[in-house]
Structure 1
């Protein structure tokens, strides 16, 4: 059983600059079958955007989605973990901050993302969340 975040995180996460339109981001998320991407400008982490953020803050807000910028719809990052932090510490941080994904930061650089689903698969592979998280995406 893995005990470190680095053992279960998604490494080399997809990221976009804040000025990229949400349609481009949504298509990339679809093509990569992922539910979240980072919003970064060079080495500065602006936030994290989920598929839900794109719908609720982007599409539902009205206007032209091709003109809406991902930097305007992303969620602020309120917490992060390091790759050598324990999976228990990551779970505790998610619980305390009420978040489902955490950037993994090492030496000031984002090196991965760990999700609630990653933790579920690791902690209790027989749970419903682990089963759903481990399945292939709906296409």
Structure 2
């Protein structure tokens, strides 16, 4: 039977406002052992910021990390999954958009995040990606 996104998604959301500094967002990622934060304003998803976004859009461009706001660096107009979407749809979307994680929203409000690692652990638990995704985080 096909699995729904709801069965696989991570509900431990880490959200920051668009006016948070990149340093604050990076510290949240470090402290929580994650690679992204959701950018939320008035309870609604505005974007997603990944550790790669910080490096490519900010560090490589020599932007001042303490002064640059999350809203200036995040990916906006993010495609979202719905909790009742099929996991196969999530795979198709990730492949088509070349992304590793997708927010899960109900009425533009984030309720979860689904990552490639989550899918690997659930659908192919003996794969290298599932092993890596299940390993304790580096600190």
Structure 2 stretches lacking a partner, 5+ long: none
Q: Distance in 1 between matches of 2:51 and 2:63?
A: 18
Structure 1 stretches lacking a partner, 5+ long: none
Q: Give the corresponding residue for 1:101.
A: 101
Q: Give the corresponding residue for 1:69.
A: 69
1:25 aligns with 2:5: no
What CA RMSD, in Å, does the superposition of the two structures yield over aligned residues?
A: 1.6
The Cα of 1:52 is off from its aligned counterpart by: 0.9
Q: Is the 8 A contact 2:19 2:71 kept in 1?
A: yes
Deviates more, 1:40-49 or 1:64-73: 40-49
Q: Deviations over 1:31-72 (max 9, x none)?
A: 111111111111332211111111111222214211011111
Q: TM-score, normalised by structure 1?
A: 0.92
Q: TM-score, normalised by structure 2?
A: 0.92
CA 60–115 in structure 1, closer or farther in 2 if over 3 Å, else same: same
1:41 aligns with 2:41: yes
